[in-house]
Amino acid sequence: MAQSLIRGIVREFFERCTAHYSADMTDETGFVWRPEARVANVVLRDMISEAGVTVRLDTPILRLAQEHNRLRHAELSSQERLQAAHFIDATYEGDLLPLAKVPYAVGRESKDTYGEPWAGRGVWKRMLPWHSKPVDGLDGNGRPLPMVEAFDPNIIPGQEDSQPQSYCHRLTLTNDPNNRREIPQPDSYDPEQFEVFRRLISAGGGRGDSKIKKHFGTWRSGYFNLSALPFSKYDMNSGPLVPTNSPHFTKGWIKGDAADRKKMLHAWEQFTLGVLHFIRTDSKVAPNVQAFFNQFGFCRDEYQNNEGLPPSIYVREGRRLLGDRVLTQNDVEAQWTDHDQTLGNAKYHLDCKPVRWSVDKSGIMVREGMFFSEEPYQFHIPYWLILPKSGTVENLSAVCAPSCSHVAFGSVRMEPTFMTLGAAAGTAACLAITAQSGLHAISPATIRETMRSLPRRLGREREQDYIATTGRFEDYTFTIPAQDVAQRADAQMLQLLPERPEARADARLNTCTAFTTHLKLTGWAADPDAADYMAWALYVEYEDGRVFRIEDRRFRPDVEAALKGPRAKYGFVTRVPLGRPSKLWVVHATGRKSIPIPSRKLKSIEQHHGALAS
């Protein structure tokens, strides 16, 4: 999605993620648009906590009680009952839709349903995106290879079906030896289960089977796409020769209950680990590809509770609402515009991953369901996209199950679009509660205006919520030689050492006028040998346990100042939230990972409450 279209609380999310990185890690827009998973997780949890939201994990909703056209309460698997004025379905699968008994669709409509050229079952194509030799899809007994469907003579292009596009695990890998953890082998690895991949490699005709190219920060090959993330991490997406996308393992996920999906998730994990093991070890894979890929592993600081593997699969498509209107391929290609109905803008290609792997009547392996438009389309995001049909349920909205066709969903399905719809759903629910009305009665224009002022309304930008403090570090030296940093990149902490032993007792922050809105700090950077590593950030920890990162790109000593000698001075100006600070954390970025450097616990800081009174 075009970054210039991201606004409101969605942009705030990316601003907060960017605040975790030094200035030299941002792009030309000043943002980090692809943050690490762990950073995104922390930011989302912070925003949820600030909003006062209680999160209940692993507690499926079993039933929704409905009276007339309103949902009244949810019955949970824990045997609890939760009442709510409004319900928002933010699941990828659209799990509340059948419970709420509202109309929805799964899979693909026929071409005739909305008159869409790309609708319905697609034309069978060869498995590889380039011209290649035919691939025999049958084993020695004439049966389809594992993960490949048998020939079905009843499948006709353009027909509807109930199968969504394929899912995968979106992996985070790293080639940083200090953060890399070995990829575990699957519980049981059967090489014969991956015969389909060997035949794809043989049919590749030399194209893509051994080439690895870097394109705009992404390593591309026939086996994988590795898109760069901060700190030598990469987001792994599927390649055509040994794809992690699998129509076979996708089947049944949408209709499955929590127990079914738990079993399917284990199968997904074993398949994904098997794909990685195949690329790393199978003799059919080009040696240069294996040598390159074996530099990578899972990240020690990502998904630590699941051995580095994401705890869920990437569900690309689930149920979709059938509302008063359905967004179609024709709407997207016409770059649909309605200023009265819009909540924001979306921009992306029409994009769908494979829906089926099969054999044709000759036993040749084929695929169908993929499409990708040459150009991205920009269009307005209408409010009716998240609402059920009028007269069904008036207090339910669906964020990731919008009222659009399968083809149009291929462009809507980007996460920033879902996040915009999520912000709109929450805003609409609040407005409906205030107005004591149903969601369909809320004006999209009112939602838009409220969303624009939402961060300020939540108090994150109100002047009275900030207190100003002026302070300094007296006679402090950051004694971190470059070679020591390099050798101790995996250390949890390095000590902040005073230039004079007695100076540690003088380190302090002093309060100043409470009506100013900036915190001004000055400090010393004394080690010229560490000049290349001097990227700093400051964290303020409060007595109530909150930690606030001060993000200001001027808080970074330039190399020229650092080389002037042991008393090169740097400073910055920023704002900090109201509270009683108890500790200061200085973080030093080595270029490979950040190392927190804690100061001593600060002396008590006098709190000024005049700012709130004003």
Q: With pLDDT > 70 as the criterion, what percentage of the chain qualifies?
A: 73
Range of weakest confidence among 184-193, 269-278, 593-602: 593-602
**pLDDT exceeds 50 at position 422:** yes
SS3 string, 254-288, reads CCCCHHHHHHHHHHHHHHHHHHHHHHHHCCCCCHH
Question: pLDDT band at 49, cuts 50/70/90?
Answer: confident
- pLDDT in the model for residue 592: 31
Mean pLDDT within 223-231: 94
Task: Find the mean pLDDT for residues 541-547.
Answer: 63
Query: Under DSSP, is residue 589 helix (H, G, I), strand (E, B) or coil?
Result: strand
> Which of the two residues, 446 and 485, has the higher pLDDT score?
446
Q: What percentage of residues in the chain have a pLDDT greater than 90?
A: 60
pLDDT above 50 (res 554): no
| Per-residue confidence (pLDDT) for residue 577, from 0 to 100 | 52
Task: Give the highest mean pLDDT range of 294-308, 464-478, 500-514, 572-586.
Answer: 294-308
Closest by CA to 423, choosing from 378, 389, 383, is 383
Mean pLDDT of 319-325: 98
Identify the residue with better confidence: 108 or 449.
Answer: 108
Tell me the pLDDT band of 211, cut-offs 50, 70 and 90: confident
Q: What is the mean pLDDT of residues 18-40?
A: 88
Rounded to a whole number, what is the largest CA-CA distance in the chain? 86
Measured over the CA atoms of residue 18, residue 19, residue 25 and residue 30, the dihedral's sign is positive
pLDDT, the chain, mean: 78
* Confidence band of 350 (pLDDT split at 50, 70, 90): very high
What is the sign, positive or negative, of the torsion defined by CA atoms of 298, 304, 309, 310? negative
The pLDDT score that the predictor gives to residue 22 is: 85
Mention every residue, 6+ apart, whose C-beta is less than 8 A from residue 279: 223, 224, 242, 285, 289, 290, 293
State the first-to-last Cα distance of the chain, in angstroms, to the nearest integer. Answer: 42
> How many residues appear in the chain?
614
Band (pLDDT 50/70/90 cuts) for residue 545 is low
Nearest CA among 494, 598, 493 for reference residue 540: 598
CA distances from 491 to 20, 203, 487, 533, 594 (A): 19, 48, 9, 16, 10
Q: What is the pLDDT of residue 547?
A: 62
Per-domain boundaries in the chain: 90-126+316-461, 171-306, 463-613
Between 149 and 535, the higher pLDDT residue: 149
Residue 523 and residue 540: Cα distance in Å, rounded? 15
More confident residue, 194 or 539: 194
Tell me the mean pLDDT in the region 68-83. Answer: 94
Look at residue 466 and tell me whether its pLDDT is greater than 60.
Answer: no
What integer pLDDT is reported at residue 408 of this predicted model? Answer: 98
Q: How confident is the model at residue 539 (pLDDT cuts 50, 70, 90)?
A: low
Answer yes or no: is pLDDT of 506 > 90.
no
Alpha helices in 300-359 (DSSP H): 329-333
Residue 208 confidence (pLDDT): 57
Quick one: pLDDT band at residue 205, thresholds 50, 70, 90?
low
Q: What is the DSSP letter of 189?
A: -
Of 263-272, 357-366, 569-578, the range with the lowest mean pLDDT is 569-578
Is the predicted pLDDT of residue 391 greater than 70, yes or no? yes
